[in-house]
A and B are shown apart, each in its own frame.
Chain A
Amino acid sequence: MDRLTRMLAGLLRCLAGLLGEHRRDWAHALLAETDDQPTPSARLAWLGGGLWLVAREVLMNRIIQALAFVAGAVGLVWIAWPGASTNSATPVNRMYVVGTLVLLAGLPLLVRRYVGPVRPGWAPRVVRVGGYAVVLALIAATAVQQRIGSQLGRYFPVILPIWAMDVGFLLILAGYVAGLLILTSRRVQFTRRVLPLALGIGALTAGVLYPLAPFGINDTAETALHSLHGGPVVVADYLVLACFVLAALAVPAAVHAAATRLADRDSRPAILSPARQALLATAGAMATAAILVALFTTLTIALSPHHVTGPHQAAGDGICPTCEPSTIVIPTNLRHEYSFEDRVNGAGDGAIALLVVPLIGAALGALRGHLRYPPPATRPEGLPEGA
């Protein structure tokens, strides 16, 4: 029996190495009290409980997360990798798949070195898993949209500037993933409820804005712009744009005010300052809204491409506006198909919205923070104490 006890204790000690730093202590605490148990069977039961504890922690923290990531990766490859060689989106989509998986697997290792592992508790883990799911779904939907919009591959050549834009899109997503990892890391401590509140407001904003323009606001903005140059005025387009502008101004103000209110009451030393919390919360809320709107609109376009509206690009003489060289003429029998694919390709708000919206949040958050927490006045050089 003693031999079995020693074996179990050794096994538990080894398995404890699989736990995170903050959990390992607990396994060692349990091990330290094994000898207090009065009988050999009680010692075995005590160690059995320890093995259960470690197994549950390892399963929950490592294996389930790894399996979920592998499932997501397989799903992404299954959806986004296929494509005819004549489809010009195929190489771009494959670059997206490889790039995204490298980013999602590699960034946690890099970010962990600077801000530590994920914060304890269920909320940061749920946010990370949710964020990863959104990024995977967005890439999958983007790949489908591009595949539908590039079937006439030779009329949609992927020239260098387009490759640069696609790489730029991946870099913006890398920023989102890094932000997600930093906001949920152990060294970035928020007051309770600040982060769920900010992300919740961001998600709610996306839920309100998406139905107003399910295929994105590109078309709406173009129509409104056209009306300024003598085109027909469509009041609904102006109203939709006004809602988006209002959200871009009101959401940062509301999130900043709420985060400041919560953080001002929290005086724990390890917590970020209220100004920083409010700034991060504001940018986080806007980033959440932007990526969710991007996901919903891209999914809508990918699932209902024939409902996408927009200007017909092919001119009457069939000159191809997206071709390289641009003097190529589209055969008459392909012009309808070309027009449809071009509309699908151009729909959605693209990477610009993903880049700009969180920056608006950060800028407005910084402005509000500056007004609420003005920097201390600096004493002019050479002025004596008490002057």
Chain B
Amino acid sequence: MADRPRFSAQTLSVLAALEADPTAWLHGYLLAKQTGLASGTLYPILIRLAERRLIEARWEDEQPAGRPRRHLYRLTAGGLVAALTALAQAAPKRRPAARRRLATEGSA
């Protein structure tokens, strides 16, 4: 029971993207690019993580020229701990998939 992963694979990929630089504020499009998730999958995950207070969200402070202000996200202190724990727990399961992906990329 204790070994049961608390997050789905997609949520783990979002946590991994945010955990890569915990101090940086990332926006949704960047997260979608890094994780390969569609907006309809990514945003419900972000909403859930924000409701569990694992990430914090804010709008850009200043209005940039030529585009609307972006919504930015980063891990909270609790979120960083949860992300590191979940990623560490998931690492053995993720490694074969990662190895397969690397092998595919290497052969291409």
Enumerate chain A interface residues (CB-CB to B < 8 A).
Answer: 23, 25-26, 28-33, 35-37, 45-50, 52-53, 56, 120-121
Q: Given known contacts A25-B71, A33-B70, is B43 in contact with A53 (CB within 8 Å)?
A: yes
A26, B27: Cβ atoms closer than 8 Å: no
Contacts of A31 in B (CB 8 A): 68
Contacts of A46 in B (CB 8 A): 32, 38-39
Contacts of A50 in B (CB 8 A): 39-40, 43
CB<8 Å pairs between A and B, sample of 24: A25-B57, A26-B47, A26-B71, A28-B71, A30-B28, A32-B67, A32-B70, A33-B28, A35-B67, A37-B29, A45-B38, A45-B39, A46-B39, A47-B39, A48-B39, A48-B40, A49-B38, A49-B39, A49-B40, A50-B39, A50-B43, A53-B44, A120-B51, A121-B51
Given known contacts A25-B57, A35-B67, A45-B39, what 11 new A-B pairs fall within 8 Å (CB)?
A25-B71, A26-B43, A28-B71, A29-B71, A36-B29, A47-B39, A49-B43, A53-B43, A53-B44, A120-B51, A121-B51
Enumerate chain B interface residues (CB-CB to A < 8 A).
Answer: 27-29, 32, 38-44, 46-47, 51, 57, 67-71
Closest A-B pairs by Cβ, 10 of them = A49-B40, A49-B39, A29-B71, A52-B40, A32-B68, A36-B29, A33-B29, A46-B39, A120-B51, A49-B38
Chain A interface, >50% SS class: helix
Interface centre among A23, A31, A32 (most CB of B within 10 A): A32
B70, A29: Cβ atoms closer than 8 Å: yes
With A and B bound together, what is the CA distance between A35 and B38 in angstroms?
15
With A and B bound together, what is the CA distance between A45 and B36 in angstroms?
13
With A and B bound together, what is the CA distance between A10 and B42 in angstroms?
21
Interface centre among A23, A29, A31 (most CB of B within 10 A): A29
Q: Which residue of A lies closest to B66 (CB)?
A: A35
Q: Which residue of B lies closest to A47 (CB)?
A: B39
Q: Which residue of A lies closest to B47 (CB)?
A: A26
With A and B bound together, what is the CA distance between A56 and B43 in angstroms?
12
Chain B interface, >50% SS class: helix
Contacts of A120 in B (CB 8 A): 51
A49, B71: Cβ atoms closer than 8 Å: no
Q: Given known contacts A37-B29, A120-B51, is B44 in contact with A30 (CB within 8 Å)?
A: no
Q: How far is the CB of B6 from chain A (nearest CB, A)?
A: 15
With A and B bound together, what is the CA distance between A36 and B27 in angstroms?
11
With A and B bound together, what is the CA distance between A43 and B6 in angstroms?
32
B40, A53: Cβ atoms closer than 8 Å: yes
Contacts of A121 in B (CB 8 A): 51
Which residue of the partner chain, among B32, B46, B47, B71, contacts A32 with CB atoms under 8 Å? B71
Contacts of B29 in A (CB 8 A): 33, 36-37
Q: Given known contacts A37-B29, A49-B38, A121-B51, is B43 in contact with A30 (CB within 8 Å)?
A: yes
With A and B bound together, what is the CA distance between A46 and B28 in angstroms?
11
Contacts of A49 in B (CB 8 A): 38-43
Q: How far is the CB of B57 from chain A (nearest CB, A)?
A: 8
With A and B bound together, what is the CA distance between A387 and B27 in angstroms?
59
Contacts of B40 in A (CB 8 A): 48-50, 52-53
With A and B bound together, what is the CA distance between A175 and B43 in angstroms?
38
Q: Which residue of A lies closest to B31 (CB)?
A: A33
Q: How far is the CB of B65 from chain A (nearest CB, A)?
A: 13
Interface centre among B29, B39, B46 (most CB of A within 10 A): B39
With A and B bound together, what is the CA distance between A48 and B46 in angstroms?
17
Contacts of A25 in B (CB 8 A): 57, 71
Interface centre among A31, A33, A50, A120 (most CB of B within 10 A): A33
Contacts of B43 in A (CB 8 A): 26, 29-30, 49-50, 53
Q: How far is the CB of A218 from chain B (nearest CB, A)?
A: 45
Contacts of A52 in B (CB 8 A): 40
With A and B bound together, what is the CA distance between A52 and B42 in angstroms?
11
Q: How far is the CB of B73 from chain A (nearest CB, A)?
A: 9
Q: How far is the CB of A32 from chain B (nearest CB, A)?
A: 4
With A and B bound together, what is the CA distance between A17 and B65 in angstroms?
26
Contacts of B32 in A (CB 8 A): 46
Q: Which residue of A lies closest to B38 (CB)?
A: A49
With A and B bound together, what is the CA distance between A25 and B47 in angstroms?
10
Q: Given known contacts A56-B44, A120-B51, is B38 in contact with A33 (CB within 8 Å)?
A: no
